[in-house]
Each structure stands twice: as C-alpha cells, then as structure tokens.
Amino acid sequence: MSSSEIMLNLNQKAINLLQEDADKIEKLIEVQMDTLTNRRCPLYEEVLDTQMYGLSREIDFAVRAGLLTETIGKEIMSRLERNLAKLYEALSVNEGNE
Amino acid sequence: MSSSEIMLNLNQKAINLLQEDADKIEKLIEVQMDTLTNRRCPLYEEVLDTQMYGLSREIDFAVRAGLLTETIGKEIMSRLERNLAKLYEALSVNEGNE
C-alpha cells in the first residue's frame, strides 16, 4: 500500500469508529423519544450528556492526530446535538400536556 | 516515507497527544495537592473525574484505531489513577487532623 492509501484507510477507520459511537448515542436518544409517555428522567439526561462529552473528546483527539478534518468532526457532533435538542423539545411539550 | 515509518510517526503522535492530556490532569492533581490546607472541594473532584473520563475515551478510541497498544493506554491511565488515589488519601488524612 502507498503512504496515501494508508492514510486514507486510517482516516476512514477513524470516521467509522466515531460514527459507531455517534450511532450508540443516537439509539439512546431514540429510546427516550419512544418512551415520551415517561416524564423527564434526569439520570437519562445525565447519561446522554456524559456520552456526548466522551464523543467530543474522541473527535477532538482524532482531529489533533490528523485523522479527521475539523469540519467532519463538527458535522458528527452537530447532527447529534440537533437530535438531542429535538428530544428535549418533545419532552417539554409532553410535560406541558400533562 | 515507508508505510511502517508513517505508522510509527502516527503512533508516536497519538502517544504524545494523550500524554499531553494526561499531563494536564497531573497538573490539576498537583495544584490540589499543594493547597491541602483547603478542605475537600467536591467541584474540583468532579472536574478531575470528568477529565479522567474524557482521557479514557480518547485512549479507548486510539486503541480501537490501532494507534496504541492496550498496554500503553492502560499505563497512562493507571499512573494517573495512582496519583489521584494519593491525592484523595492525603485529603482524608488532612481532614482527620482538623
């Protein structure tokens, strides 16, 4: 393999790993969305926040190690943040209806 | 550069980055050690815990990306954990003396 092929492989691997972790958080958000009949669960929100922080540190490391552009890293985080905002919005609407 | 040189460079870079982050936590521990006249500060411990968690996620990612052996990753964490344990021990002795 040429050196540029090696870097491409590594970069792709890094993106796949980060996307896997992002998907796990996405699942956590969906599960909470599906159980909107429940009230807000502070413990669940704490878990989501912790997972988001962990992922942001992984992404930051990958960018510094040159495996990822900052733009791709930000895209992964922004997508999750948008979904998380939707969840919190849905939860507060739901609370208002009770 | 040959492909093995590229990997060596990347691996070294990854270790340096993680060590930098570990050093930052080490500094936080030292600062707290130097101000042992203070009582335990729960907020400070919270910050240390969060930083430790962030670093563990970076290391986990680096290992999965093949940039680091699990052994080296564990060594970085263990060293910090030992120092953190010393800090907590010193803090509790200090509290006992008051």
Could you report the per-residue pLDDT of A7-64, keeping only the tens digit for each?
899 999 999 999 999 999 999 988 887 776 556 677 888 889 999 999 999 999 999 9
- CB-based contact, B76 to chain A, within 8 Å: no
A59 close to A76: Cβ distance less than 8 angstroms: yes
Architecture of domain A3-97: Orthogonal Bundle (1.10)
* B6-32 average pLDDT score: 92
A91 vs B57: which has the higher pLDDT: B57
What is the pLDDT confidence band of residue B55, given thresholds at 50, 70 and 90? Answer: very high
Residue A36 phi, psi (nearest 5)? -65, -15
Chain B touched by A66 (CB under 8 Å) = yes
**Nearest CA to CA, how far is A8 from chain B (Å)?**
12
**Domain boundaries along the sequence of chain B:** 3-97
The CA angle B85-B40-B51, to the nearest 5 degrees, is: 55
